[in-house]
Amino acid sequence: MSQEFKLDLPIRPRRLRRTAGLRAMVEETVLRPADFIAPLFVIDGKGRPEPVKSMPGVSRLNITDLVKECRALAKLGVPAVALFPKLDAKLKDADGTRALDEDGLILRAVRAVKKAVPGLTVITDIALDPYTTHGHDGVLTPAQDDVDNDRTVGILCEMAVLHAEAGVDIVAPSDMMDGRIGAIREVLDIADFTGTAIMAYSAKFNSAYYGPFRDAVGSAKAAGTNVLSKATYQLNPANRRESLIEATLDVAEGADIVMVKPAGPYLDIIREVRDASTTPIAAYQVSGEYAQIHAAAKLGWLDYERCRHESLLAIKRAGADLILTYFAKEMATLLSK
């Protein structure tokens, strides 16, 4: 009986899944090397790369090795890198004063990369957490019980101008202070850096997925433990509408690109921001997302290559135009073949 049974179905969606060729013809979302931004960690000196234990395959690089890595990424078609410094603990203080050092590590790194690979887009982090002893993204109030919003914004404005002078293409404020996008846009324009773009960390959530990154930049032990939680400035993971308020404000203040961070656990937020705005959207597949795929694959619980690809495909499908990911080089190598 079962062999004779036939359904009268004029519409059979499986028809277009029958062969690899048909599936490719109707594929809706495609990953390209040009979709990726590679986050890179830079250290001072001439030492060998320093592996980040919690991020397999990721190392802190001296400036010479950083330039080599940037050349390799550019050849693979990755259009941009995001640079993050790891300072010696002796150079940090409560006010993050090294953030305004005109010959600081990150500015020397920017100059070297732009000289060696001028066509590569260079993005830098505008926040104080790599520079402060307490690990927070800004300076603290006199009572040491909160981050001083307005004083922090003033410092970030100075920092953004220094980065623009060094040749940065995009400054990326990741601090989540109120009003910082408008203030940074104003000072950049006054300083004749009207062409320097702003990628705003607009919907940056107070996430547990940042641990390996804080290890990489040396702020893990301090952040959110000794003084206060970053929940006073980063978004509550429970809130959707609040992320739309932040993104809308940043666009109104002059953001050229808005970002959702983390990416994978917040695909719904990416889609909400995409539906609400025509501004380009970046999504940051953060260190914890990267580390958990590696860890599960190492235990044999997941297929590493398929999960790596699927995780990035989901981020783009949700509406991201650009993806910051530690898989950038691996994926670009694979996709450029």
Task: Tell me if 21 is assigned to some domain.
Answer: no
Say whether 261 is catalytic: yes
Residue 25 placed within a domain: no
Residue 223 has what pLDDT?
43
Catalytic residue (one of 86, 92, 230, 261): 261
**Residue 147 forms part of a structural domain:** yes
Average pLDDT over residues 147-158: 97
pLDDT band of residue 293 (cuts 50, 70, 90) is very high
- Domain assignment of residue 117, yes or no: yes
Domains identified in the chain, total number:
1
Residues spanned by the domain of 276? 30-335
| Domain membership flag for residue 254 | yes
Give me the percent of the chain exceeding a pLDDT of 70: 97
- Residue 219 domain-assigned (yes or no): yes
Catalytic residue among 92, 114, 204, 316: 204
Catalytic site includes residue 221: no
What local confidence, expressed as pLDDT, does residue 217 receive? 82
Domain assignment present for residue 105? The answer is yes
Mean pLDDT estimate for the chain: 94
Residues 6+ apart with CB under 8 A from 67: 112, 113, 116, 117
Q: Residue range 72-80: average pLDDT?
A: 98
Inside any domain, residue 308: yes
Write out pLDDT tens, residues 129-149: 999 999 999 999 998 889 999
* Main-chain dihedrals φ then ψ at residue 271, nearest 5 degrees: -65, -40
Three-class secondary structure of residue 240 per DSSP: coil
Residue 189 sits in a domain of what CATH number? 3.20.20.70
Structure tokens at 337: 């073949």
Residue 227: DSSP 8-state: S
Q: In the structure, what pLDDT confidence band is assigned to residue 225 with cuts at 50, 70 and 90?
A: very low
Q: Is 272 exposed, middle or buried (0-12, 13-18, 19+ CB in 10 A)?
A: buried
The reported pLDDT for the residue numbered 212 is 85
* C-beta separation of 123 from 82 below 8 A: yes
Q: What is the amino acid identity at position 100? A: L
